[in-house]
């Protein structure tokens, strides 16, 4: 007989290099899955999007059987010259349908011009084993990265958002299965940076959620420099339609404290009883990835060691999300409630 079990956790929940975390599940075996960026600055072996699994959202098995090479067991067409699998977003679309959205730097990458980084979708019948990616869009530089899937409960329609590289965050409607843009649809700017303002010159890592009772859309986005900092996660009250420009002022959801900084690229998932948890990467102090001491990372020596942290997500009387203390915890905390068979 299945029973509910309470857990506890202490950040980081994944101590390995685990930037841009995305979560999905549980699957038919009761596992939650977590995926992350893999790029040239991280320890070998290279993987086509790192994957981990857990039964409680707290203790994670990294690179489990079948995912030793990542979420894609086979090579990705037009990908291999560079090592840049960035910012995945994985969704369970049905009992045997999983979609993985992600960003790639392709073999024919252009430093300038329209064929820079791009976003894609791939399908699988399980949480790993993705193949045959469909390229959805490419663009100049870093402007077409960080895809985020969103299904509007009110409209019963799917959308995809993306953006970085000092360009606007854009959105566009997806088909019912989430594998293509709706015919005749066009990208729409929903959030534009201000290049003249050093604190507002870049938005990225967008993640769209809904208020758990009102189903009002809420947009989470990060700025301004994931390597150098400060890098924080903000929340916007969504527009009436998912593709309308955001008009509300952002509120800071995750900021630095004495232990953690560069808190961004958030992803939200409910536990077994519907409590919402926010997962994100953060850097403990000035920790860097071992072996990167020689790299100049935006004026700092070494690439920041981004680890996965989590916090319970609450909502205030105005309907906006918050975490206790407004920053990552560093002591043991009550964790998600999960099902135990």
pLDDT in tens, 279-331: 999 999 999 999 999 998 877 889 999 999 999 999 999 999 999 999 999 99
CA dihedral over 168, 42, 231, 336, signed as positive or negative: positive
Overall size of the chain counted in residues: 341
Q: What is the pLDDT of residues 29-50, one digit of tens each?
A: 999 999 999 999 999 999 999 9
Q: What is the mean pLDDT of residues 135-162?
A: 97
Q: What is the pLDDT of residue 2?
A: 73
Q: What is the mean pLDDT of residues 19-25?
A: 98
What are phi and psi for residue 75, nearest 5 degrees?
A: -55, 150
Q: What is the pLDDT of residue 341?
A: 66
- Is residue 225 classed exposed, middle or buried when 0-12, 13-18 and 19+ CB atoms within 10 A define those classes? middle
Q: What is the mean pLDDT of residues 153-157?
A: 96
Percent of the chain with pLDDT over 70: 99
Burial 145-154 (b: 16+ CB within 10 A, else e): bbbbbbbbee
Q: pLDDT grade, residue 174 (50/70/90)? A: very high
């Amino acid at each position: 007989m299945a029973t509910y079990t309470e857990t506890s956790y202490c950040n980081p929940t994944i101590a390995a290099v685990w930037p841009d975390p995305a979560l999905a599940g549980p699957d038919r075996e009761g596992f939650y899955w977590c995926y992350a960026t893999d790029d040239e600055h991280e320890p070998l072996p290279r993987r086509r999007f790192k994957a981990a699994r857990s039964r409680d959202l707290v203790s994670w098995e990294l690179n489990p059987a079948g995912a030793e090479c990542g979420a894609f067991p086979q090579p990705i067409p037009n990908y291999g010259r560079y090592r840049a699998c960035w910012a995945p977003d994985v969704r369970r679309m049905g009992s045997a349908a999983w979609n993985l959205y992600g960003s790639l730097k392709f073999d024919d990458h252009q430093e300038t011009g329209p064929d820079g980084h791009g976003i894609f979708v791939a399908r699988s019948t399980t949480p790993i084993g993705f193949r045959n990616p469909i390229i959805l869009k490419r663009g100049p530089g870093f402007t077409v990265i960080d895809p985020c899937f969103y299904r509007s409960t009110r409209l019963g329609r799917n959308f995809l958002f993306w953006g970085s590289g000092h360009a606007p965050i854009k959105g566009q409607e997806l088909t019912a299965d989430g594998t293509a843009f709706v015919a005749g649809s066009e990208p729409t700017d929903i959030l534009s940076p201000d290049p003249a303002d050093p604190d507002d010159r870049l938005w990225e890592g967008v993640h769209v959620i809904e208020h758990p009772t009102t189903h009002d859309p809420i947009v989470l986005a990060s700025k301004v420099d994931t390597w150098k900092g400060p890098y924080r996660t903000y929340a916007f009250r969504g527009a009436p339609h998912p593709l309308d420009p955001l008009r509300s002022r952002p509120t800071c959801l995750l900021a630095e404290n004495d232990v953690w900084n560069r808190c961004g690229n958030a992803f939200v998932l409910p536990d077994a009883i519907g409590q919402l948890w926010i997962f994100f990467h953060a850097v403990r102090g000035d920790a860097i990835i071992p072996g990167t001491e020689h790299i100049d990372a935006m004026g700092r020596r070494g690439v920041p060691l981004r680890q996965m942290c989590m916090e319970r997500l609450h909502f205030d009387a105005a309907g906006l999300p918050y975490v206790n203390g407004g920053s990552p915890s560093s002591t043991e905390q009550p964790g998600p409630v999960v099902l135990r068979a």
